Structure 1
């Protein structure tokens, strides 16, 4: 098996890392999936990444049908609306890699196109938007971790992806504990991403406040209980992952970036998913329930729901 064509669905912060890494690969076709005005914009302006403009091909889902390798790097909220596009792209031998946050995007995609197409993966990249492009540090980026969920772990398609990434600037590794790796990043997002977003401060808050650490620890305990109940031993990933990327105390992770920009967040993928799994397993999730409702309320605030003019009917305190 040799990967000769790669399509990227979602050319944002995560997709930009893939486009940057694979653009210099000489023996493949690289394209971005887009339609309508977005397709026109990408064809005209390309993708600006680390102050360089890249021009991958732009394909409609139908034009990309049967591509060897489809990388899905959407925001979680966009996935339901993109399932028809994913179906249109997927041919008999298409391998799909989801680089979305959370722990259930592969399951959602598999329900639509079949689990046999999915090669599980997780990405660790601190990419953010600046002006009209995306910026990340290639040297400190941990990159893409991927693998089969069951033996043989050195499958033909794992070898094909290793060959694809070889000789690029991408950082990557194959693993035989990919589910644990995915849950390890999920834990990081839930415990470090969410409390910071409510407080509106840099990640140094976890080091400098016992109160923020207590909230983070509470979220972590609920997640670990659910993972254990599902048979996920995250310690396997802890052994292989080593230390994460160094970030300054001022760093603002994706959920806070979304709130800063007035966007809706991926809280449904984080605490929302844990609340659902907790109910299915009979495990209480009070920290996640509070966090979920607080971030939903902050989204409502960004939407203008609480922009009172002073002329509204008075409320009666009790």
Structure 2
């Protein structure tokens, strides 16, 4: 079993900062941040302030020739995944492992189409992270990664999983290895689709779910469309999964805002196509009606158009 000495991260934002914060002390210059242009310049000059501490990184341009990294972690948004796959080409060698803990249920397939399933591990993040410029904050005590092969025998993990497990333990990164990672990713997708989109159109933080029954009911109704699709696809998520997940949401800092709402407030484009857009498409494929996600898709598009000045009469 090999040892991981070099890790390349592309997308040093809210999720990328979670990994960089722990991996930098363990790897030093063995941690590479892949960035070019103005983004690279800003990282070199200003660094990143993660939970109040400013750090500077070994920034590597996409076209810079280096030895392949042992592990590549892609933490862009889904909309930036295909470009990220091009930008990491110099980091990928025969033995490189790739993880893409993005929102959604299709990132592993997209990565595998480019680089092959033999390099891919399934992964997802459980973290409420807030990004403001070059500042990122999250609660490390309530943040962790889930990763592994698509299916895992917890008594006999694959060499690929054990290799990544080694660097995460060295760096102090909290993680879980689930027997069924595809189901785990779909459970996270249930949360992303419901929490992100409802919060975005209502302009409410995480604290709303446990304190406002009507907001929580909307969350549950939207989540149910995703759960129905998953079960039609043979991914047997518990019908009460979203209801039970409320206990986890209650430990998230109540003022934190889901990422889609953060995007709207910052005037950025959202991941609506990965969220409601994908649900609508998969609903048609599986015969599940998705009226709430259809409403949310158009509602969020209106908010984006308002930000772009395309809605007349809005100040």
Superposition TM-score, scaled by structure 1 size = 0.88
Aligned to 2:256: 251
Pick one of 261, 268, 275 that aligns with 2:273: 268
CA distance in 2 between counterparts of 1:120 and 1:59 reads 25
Distance 1:114 1:51, change over 3 A: same
Aligned to 1:167: 170
- Please list every run of 5 or more consecutive structure 1 residues that lacks an aligned counterpart in the other structure: 311-318
Matches within 5 A, 1:109-128: 109-128=111-130
- The answer to whether the aligner puts 1:287 opposite 2:292 as a matched pair is yes
**TM-superposition CA deviations, 1:35-90 (whole Å, max 9, x none):** 22322322233222122222221112343452110000001221232231133432
Whether the aligned pair in 2 keeps the contact of 1:258 and 1:264 (CA below 8 Å) is yes
Whether the aligned pair in 2 keeps the contact of 1:9 and 1:15 (CA below 8 Å) is yes
- The answer to whether the aligner puts 1:40 opposite 2:45 as a matched pair is no
Matches within 5 A, 1:17-166: 17-26=18-27, 29-62=30-63, 63-64=65-66, 66-130=68-132, 132-141=134-143, 143-150=144-151, 154-166=157-169
CA distance in 2 between counterparts of 1:42 and 1:131 reads 11
CA distance in 2 between counterparts of 1:88 and 1:167 reads 26
Bigger CA radius of gyration: 1
Deviation for aligned residue 1:301:
0.9
CA distance in 2 between counterparts of 1:309 and 1:266 reads 23
**TM-superposition CA deviations, 1:95-114 (whole Å, max 9, x none):** 00111111111111211221
CA distance in 2 between counterparts of 1:85 and 1:201 reads 35
Whether the aligned pair in 1 keeps the contact of 2:128 and 2:256 (CA below 8 Å) is no
Superposition TM-score, scaled by structure 2 size = 0.89
Distance 1:38 1:205, change over 3 A: closer
Query: Quick check: which one's helix share is greater?
Result: 2
CA RMSD of aligned residues (A): 2.6
Deviation for aligned residue 1:233:
2.1
Whether the aligned pair in 1 keeps the contact of 2:210 and 2:249 (CA below 8 Å) is no
Matches within 5 A, 1:200-219: 200-219=203-222
Deviation for aligned residue 1:223:
0.6
The count of residues paired between Structure 1 and Structure 2 equals: 308
Deviation for aligned residue 1:218:
2.2
- Please list every run of 5 or more consecutive structure 2 residues that lacks an aligned counterpart in the other structure: none
Aligned to 1:313: none
Deviation for aligned residue 1:207:
4.0
More off after superposition, 4-13 vs 122-131: 122-131
Matches within 5 A, 1:294-313: 294-308=299-313
CA distance in 1 between counterparts of 2:295 and 2:15 reads 29
Deviation for aligned residue 1:231:
1.4
**TM-superposition CA deviations, 1:132-156 (whole Å, max 9, x none):** 3111122222x11101113566011
